[in-house]
Amino acid sequence: MRPRCGLLQWRWVRRLPALAAALLLGCGGATTQAPAPSSITVGTALAADQSVTRTLNAMPRTLDPSLLTDEPGQTVMDDLFEGLTTIGPDDNIVPGVARSWDMSADGKTWLFHLRPEARWSNGDPVTAADFVYAWRREVDPKTGSEYAQALAPIVNAEAIATGHAPVDSLGVTALDAHTLRVALVSPTPYLLAVLADNYLLPLHRATIERYGDSWTRPAHMVSNGPYVLSELIVGDRITLTRNPLYWGAANVRVTRVTYYPLDPDEQVSRFMAGDVEMTSYFPGPQFRWLKSQLGNQVVTGPYLGIQMLGFNMIDPPFAHNRNLRLALNMAVDRNILADKIYQGLNRPAYSIVPPLPGYTPQTPAWASWSDDQRHAEARRLYAAAGYSAAHPLHVQLDYPTDDEHRDLMAALAAMWRTNLGADVEPYNEEFRVLTQNLQLHKSSLFWNSWIGDFPDPFTFVQLAQKDDGQNYGRFDDPRYEALLVAAGNEADNAQRYRYFEQAEDLLNQEAPFLPLVYYTTRHLIKPYLKGWHSNLQDRLPTRYLYVLEHQGR
């Protein structure tokens, strides 16, 4: 679970290529003929050269799976390592190192049967002990993993992470070289999805013990995935080559993948120059222009993430003032935001859980009202909250410095001024400063965003859980806690989702958040690069890609 951030905000630099591009490429006027960059002809046979170039939004802060926390790192991990389960070609969870598994009747004990042919890149077999070692290392406070709590479903993981139990008491046991037993605190229907994540990957103990912190260097790293690390230049590129010892190597077609960490604007120019074939992002304000230049090389899809605002539920003016929170919610025209600010890229959001298979989103009734009806109700609630033209709401809206955010905040302030007469002042802060202020609960009204770690409503509804670190607004409602506890103890996933639906409905009524838009995945992909599927988690492992014969770039 991570907030969406981290793209380097070097504002002048980021804006300029767009401007220069508009100058150069757009100077022929709006009716310019097909632009040069997309003159590519694609054949049907596989290309002789199966190497691929991709981008990352930033340099991963580390390539140690236990320590990494960022999205770029996760992308690289999907190529380098393989967990018990792994991401399939179309975002489904498929068997990875585990060939099969059994779950006990109460859903609390799982047995994983590892495939004997799984190998490390140095030839050693991948055994159950490698998972035990890696998971213990993850929760051991000495390791300093910021993600240790992700293992919380496993027996004793929390006690170990907080220093209250010995590391070897973790509920994971190697019954023999190829059988792993995992004991859970409560039924965890999303376990199989979590097992594909980077903090539950196996690790090669001998390598880590031999090289210490430097085990992640290309010369030292031993991994068990479809690729091995062959080059790493901080700030420039990460190169991976196919791992011939990977058990499924016969099905891996791309022989070499190079990742370039770049700012969004530079990703676009590299793509248009033909120097990278798949980007991980592009700047939102360029969406329509890119679409006109590149056509269906611009690939977007639903993403498991939401952008929203949060209210401080403890301090005035929003504490004990549901009417005011709802009034602000209803006065926002999300269609305008989605269309004008995001150029149709992001979709309007009225509740915090993005659309998920099997889950019925709890959209509030007013979401389908006409603008006039909604604004009228917003004004009524605003007045009922004790505000008027003579006595308007004055509040500061804190957000992280970024061009896209700035436009969004200005639009919000304008909507509240027009529709309610409220005086909301956007105030930008550097991301780290904002985060610190949020953790200290200094802010009344603040920007917030969230990307789910696995496709389950839990990763969103937990944001309003009393003890969650992201509950910046300090929403605290016993009814809500009870629903989440009930869901946690429920082994039947359908029933569990019903609890989450009730919880989300409660959030709509109490309005501790102001949902704005659901995020969209943004890629530029060359027409000859195939094998990818847009998916909710935006994970496009290289192992499924292949390159078709082509001319031009």
Considering only residues 26 to 65 of the shown chain, the ones binding other proteins according to CB under 8 A are 36-37, 58-59, 61-64
Query: Among 38, 122, 149, 323, which residue interacts with other proteins (rule: CB under 8 A)?
Result: 149
Q: Give the integer Cα–Cα distance in Å for 252 and 246.
A: 9
409 binds other proteins (CB under 8 A): no
CA distance 55 to 269: 12
Q: Which stretch binds other proteins (CB under 8 A): 6-14, 339-347, 374-382, 535-543?
A: 6-14
What region does 61 belong to: left with phi over 0, alpha with psi -120 to 50, or beta?
A: alpha
Alpha helices in 365-442 (DSSP H): 371-384, 403-419, 431-439
d(CA 207, CA 77): 17
Nearer to other proteins, 444 or 465 (CB): 465
- Three-state helix/strand/coil letters over 40-84: CEEEEEECCCCEEEEEECCCCCCCCCCCCCCHHHHHHHHHHCCCC
Q: Phi/psi zone of residue 523: left (φ > 0), alpha (ψ -120 to 50 degrees), beta?
A: beta
> From CA 455, how far away is CA 330, in angstroms rounded?
28
Residues 275-304 that bind other proteins (CB under 8 A): 275
Tell me the closest approach of the beta carbon of residue 162 to other proteins, in angstroms.
5
Stretch of 167-175, 429-437, 481-489, 495-503 lying at the interface with other proteins (CB under 8 A): 429-437
Query: Near other proteins by CB under 8 A, which window of 79-87, 136-144, 298-306, 409-417?
Result: 136-144
Minimal distance in Å, beta carbon 337 to other proteins?
23
Interface residue with other proteins among 25, 40, 185, 411 (CB under 8 A) is 25
Instruction: Give the residue with the Cβ less far from other proteins, 59 or 356.
Output: 59
Query: HEC string of 425-442?
Result: EEEEECHHHHHHHHHCCC
Q: Of 168-176, 255-263, 311-319, 497-505, which segment contacts other proteins by CB under 8 A?
A: 255-263
Task: Please tell me the distance from the alpha carbon of residue 397 to that of residue 444, in angstroms, as a whole number.
Answer: 7
Q: Which stretch binds other proteins (CB under 8 A): 10-18, 304-312, 373-381, 504-512?
A: 10-18
Interface with other proteins, residue 78, by CB under 8 A = no
How many residues line the site for other proteins (CB under 8 A)? 72
| 17 near other proteins, rule: CB under 8 A | yes
Alpha carbons 411 and 391: distance in angstroms, whole number: 22
> Cα(441)–Cα(436) distance, rounded to whole angstroms?
9
Alpha-carbon gap, residue 12 to 42, rounded angstroms: 37
Residue closer to other proteins by CB (options 338, 434) is: 434
Minimum Å distance from CB 42 to other proteins? 18
Q: Bridge-partner residues for 256, per DSSP?
A: 51, 241
Nearest-approach distance from CB 134 to other proteins, in angstroms: 16
Tell which positions 451-510 bind other proteins, by CB under 8 A: 468-470
The yes or no reply on residue 273 touching other proteins (CB under 8 A) is yes
CA distance 203 to 244: 18
Taking CB under 8 A as the criterion, the residue among 210, 288, 394, 432 binding other proteins is 432
**Under the criterion CB under 8 A, does residue 266 sit at the interface with other proteins?**
yes
